[in-house]
Amino acid sequence: MTREAFFEALLSQTVENTRVGLSLRQLPEAVLRHHPREGAWNALDCLEHLHASYAVYFPQFDTKLATPKYPAEAHFKHGTFRRSFIEGLRPKGGKRSLKMPTSKRLTPHTSGATVDAVFEKFEADRLHLGEAIDMAREASLNRIKLISAVGPLFRLRLGDTFLFLAAHDERHLLQAQEAIQAYGSDSKN
């Protein structure tokens, strides 16, 4: 895939994910805090989980992209395993596939958080992500590697990291929308 195509697709997905996330802000707090079932995340939990995930990657972006060791190349090449992993995260037909466990450090804790605080973090993360994407335009998408949230044994290429984050956002924003939809159906029962 060419760099231009990569960044065009990434920016399109990032803008859409941002639009979806920010559109939730207009909803009443009771809707945003509604847990669709015991142990399930509410919409705010989903946004807080995204924030916790970005907290793993932003310091690495800041360090590795400030003065990239490797120059930009003309094409981005997916690894086969990484492509399968990222595509497995992405919702298909409006449904989340692959149930995945969440590590304790990425488990959201929003019970004491205000709605405004959660959305302020979401917006700040979006700005930081945009800055990282801009900085990545001058860096190698293939040779720069980042440690994944899974741990140091699983590293992702810079390009795969951005695609992972876009798919991860899409997945948990869909989960937030599902929790919101459950509020409407639960209140009818």
Taking alpha carbons only, the member of 179, 33, 24 closest to residue 112 is: 33
User: Residue 164's Cα: distance from chain center in Å?
Assistant: 7
DSSP 159: H
Report the pLDDT value the prediction gives residue 65, as an integer from 0 to 100.
96
pLDDT at 81: 79
Give the chain's domain count: 1
Residues of the chain with pLDDT under 70: 98-103, 105, 110, 185-189
The enclosing H or E element of 107 equals: none
Q: Provide the domain limits for residue 54.
A: 3-188
pTM of the predicted structure, to 2 decimals? 0.90
| CATH code for the domain of 110 | 1.20.120.450
